[in-house]
Amino acid sequence: MKSVQERAYGKLNLTLDVLGKRDDGYHDMCMIMQTVSLSDLVTVTLTEEDGWVCSCDHEAIPQGGKNLAWKAAEAFFEAYGKRPEHLLIDIQKQIPVQGGMAGGSADAAAVLRALNVLHGTPYTAEELADIGSAVGSDVPYCVIGGTALAEGRGEIISKLPPLPDCYFVLVKPEFSVSTPALFKKLDESADGAHPDTQCAIAALQKKNLHGLCRCMTNVFQPVLSKDFPVIDEICARLVDLGAERACLTGTGSVVFGVFTQRDIAEDAVLNLSKDYTVFLAENV
């Protein structure tokens, strides 16, 4: 029995732009992504019995073949050319489910990394990311992690200079959103404050956190806030509590505030915890 554990880090969108709809039904994206310390723990074990089992301590996560982690294992062994009879994937969840933090994709990426280690590292990170692209648009980024630009469907990844150290207060309102439904709403909407991605990249190159914060925008936010004004309310509250900037991540529903000082971020966590599920995280 051989076992490998991997941390599956959640992601935030420091910027998120949708450039247009494609013929294949997907949208062309341009997003600055950042992994954060809030993470799931994924354990992959090559066993001698029980077939394939995928278990998770969160009731909303599918346990079998519908789980992205399972699909990632299928994709790995298809590329590798040899599929084991027995495999155990265990996921301990911390990343909020349906939060726009790519929790499922992070787990899938962790499975790819773990299987790569278990098989003597046959693939580079770029090759693993390529294997992951069929599993989900965010999986290639989750394989690579750090600060990066994601383009195309989300699967074309370019490394960016690392985000200067800061603290994130992550707030999860109760509701969750269907990603395809929100893309459709965006297509039909005239709203859309687009981020200035080039300005954000220039700020990263200068290690200028304030400058970067000024460029943080998510094109989904005005569309989602129409139905869920709580998104903008939480952003305003985070700024009142000392955040440099607050923004929606992905298609939501998690909202994050960027803080430069830990004690101020901790006070914000205490304040917002009265009303919401809240986490403190750092960039990784």
Contact present, 191 and 227 (Cβ < 8 Å): no
Interaction residues for ligand C5P, span 7-66 (CB under 6 A): 26-27, 29
Q: Is 69 in the site for ligand C5P (CB under 6 A)?
A: no
- 11 among known catalytic residues: yes
Site string for ligand C5P, 89-128 (x = CB under 6 A): ----------------------------------------
Token readout for 42 is: 């994924």
CB of 15 to ligand C5P, least distance (A): 15
Closest-CA residue to 89 (of 39, 53, 136): 53
Going by the DSSP 8-state scheme, the letter that residue 178 receives in this structure is -
192: amino acid identity, one letter: G
Q: Is 132 in the site for ligand C5P (CB under 6 A)?
A: no
Residue in 17, 107, 138, 185 annotated catalytic:
138
Q: Where are the beta strands (DSSP E) in the chain?
A: 2-21, 27-46, 52-56, 87-92, 147-152, 156-159, 167-172, 245-248, 255-259, 277-282
Q: Which is nearer to ligand C5P, 136 or 145 (CB)?
A: 136
Contact present, 78 and 130 (Cβ < 8 Å): no
Q: Which is nearer to ligand C5P, 32 or 246 (CB)?
A: 32
The residue count for binding ligand C5P (CB under 6 A) is 11
| Cα torsion through 271, 276, 280, 282, rounded to 10 | -130
Contact present, 266 and 168 (Cβ < 8 Å): no
Interaction residues for ligand C5P, span 71-90 (CB under 6 A): none
Q: Which residues contact 50 (CB under 8 A, 6 or more apart)?
A: 86, 88
User: Which span sits near ligand C5P by CB under 6 A: 41-49, 175-183, 204-212, 231-239?
Assistant: 175-183
- Choose which of 34, 116, 137, 147 interacts with ligand C5P (CB under 6 A): 137
User: Which span sits near ligand C5P by CB under 6 A: 55-63, 90-98, 176-184, 271-279?
Assistant: 176-184
- 227 among known catalytic residues: no
Q: Is 136 in the site for ligand C5P (CB under 6 A)?
A: yes
Give dist(CA 82, CA 255) in Å, integer.
42
CB of 55 to ligand C5P, least distance (A): 22
Q: Is 180 in the site for ligand C5P (CB under 6 A)?
A: yes
- Choose which of 58, 119, 153, 214 interacts with ligand C5P (CB under 6 A): 153
Q: Please say whether the dihedral angle defined by the alpha carbons of residues 117, 120, 126 and 127, taken in this order, is positive or negative.
A: negative
- Choose which of 183, 256, 259, 279 interacts with ligand C5P (CB under 6 A): 183
Q: Please say whether the dihedral angle defined by the alpha carbons of residues 205, 19, 26 and 96, taken in this order, is positive or negative.
A: positive
Q: Provide the annotated active-site residues.
A: 11, 138
Interface residue list for ligand C5P (CB under 6 A): 26-27, 29, 136-138, 153-154, 179-180, 183
